[in-house]
Amino acid sequence: MITFLKGHVGLAPLERWEPDCWINVVEPSDEDARYLTRELNVPPSFLQDIEDVDERSRLETEDDWMLMILRVPCKVDDTIPFITVPFGFILKEDIFITVCHHRAEMIQDFVLYANRKSVRVASTWDLLFRLFLSSSVWYLKYLKQISAQMSMAEQELERSIRNEELQRLLKIEKSLVFFITSLQGNDNLLARMKNLKSRRCFFDEELMEDVEIEQRQAQDTVRIYSDILSGTMDAYASVISNNLNIVMKRMTSVSLILMLPTLIASLYGMNVPNGFEGAAWGFAAVILVSALVSMVGYLFFRWRRWL
């Protein structure tokens, strides 16, 4: 789907393309791709790179066109809570295009925020850095949700260690790995953009500084959460192993206690003279001795804290 937006204060929708407007393409169809390549002469290789879900953050130029790929966070199904997807910027003189093959919340939220706060968009580069800043903010928003999910899973694990909570923590760990890798790539892209001396005059230094601050904060936060989650997973792995050892120790102790009366009954039941075969009280004596020996064994194991 293609939408055209333009405005120095806020972002107003347009019916068709105008110079210096923002062409936002979300989940492009074949018709949208044909419009970009035939009407605007966008290199087809740019669109193919953006479509690749594993494409890394980078900057590339071809003729007069410039392509920048930014990794942005995106919420998906229950398989993994959050992933990152490529978000492409395609620039050429008075053409500014963004392409994303996933419906990320960042774009819709940015448009609503710009209109609600009457954000001034001075140029296409100003819009580009604001979108870059919005992506870092959404990393932080999703990290807060990840932190809440981690707390819920830990509370459940404190009550009872179950596979479901451990699997939930494992999925969160995958999301954090995606975030760490993507934020590192975005940081490299930002450093590359700062070295564009030919476009430096178009940059808003204060806005670029805000982008750097949010980017660093997102990187630091995701590293902290990743370290906490790794420590939590290691701690619960140790707890599970310790609980297993305790269960095995108790089962072994119970088996040894039950073996004592079995041994006495086996000796009494042998087909050999033992002095009790003709006694009327022989069976009761065996039961009594078995009970006493079992009680002594139980008290011994309790004293050694094996039960």
- Tens of pLDDT, residues 130-181: 888 899 999 999 999 888 888 888 777 777 666 777 788 888 888 899 999 9
Contact 107, 132 (CB under 8 A): no
Q: Quote the CA–CA distance of 138 and 295 in Å, as a whole number.
A: 65
What pTM did the predictor assign? Answer: 0.78
Look at 5-14, 43-52, 213-222 and tell me which has the smallest mean pLDDT. Answer: 5-14
Long-range contacts of 48-55 (CB under 8 A, 24+ apart): 49/86, 49/88, 50/86, 50/87, 50/88, 50/99, 50/100, 50/101, 51/101, 52/86, 53/85, 53/86, 53/101, 55/86
Q: What is the pLDDT of residue 161?
A: 66
3-state per-residue secondary structure call for 98-126? EEECCCCHHHHHHHHHHHHHCCECCCHHH
Q: What is the pLDDT of residue 86?
A: 92
Q: Quote the CA–CA distance of 52 and 86 in Å, as a whole number.
A: 8
Instruction: Report the range out of 113-122, 277-286, 287-296 with the highest average pLDDT.
Output: 287-296
- Taking alpha carbons only, the member of 215, 233, 118 closest to residue 174 is 233
Fold that domain 2-242 belongs to in CATH: Beta Polymerase; domain 2 (3.30.460)
Q: What is the pLDDT of residue 13?
A: 80
Q: What is the pLDDT of residue 194?
A: 79
Q: Where in the chain is the domain with CATH 3.30.460.20?
A: 2-242
Report pLDDT digits (tens) over 54-69.
889 888 888 888 899 9
Burial class of residue 87 (count of CB atoms within 10 Å of its CB; 0-12, 13-18, 19+): buried
Q: How confident is the model at residue 87 (pLDDT cuts 50, 70, 90)?
A: very high
Q: Where in the chain is the domain with CATH 1.20.58?
A: 249-303
H helix runs in the chain, sequence order: 30-34, 44-51, 105-117, 124-159, 163-194, 205-268, 282-303
Report pLDDT digits (tens) over 243-291.
778 888 888 888 888 888 888 877 777 766 766 666 777 778 888 888 8
Domain 249-303 matching CATH 3.40.720: the answer reads no
Q: Quote the CA–CA distance of 29 and 302 in Å, as a whole number.
A: 72
pLDDT at 71 over 60: yes
Tokens of 297: 């064994």
Q: What is the pLDDT of residue 198?
A: 55
- Taking alpha carbons only, the member of 31, 72, 79 closest to residue 50 is 72
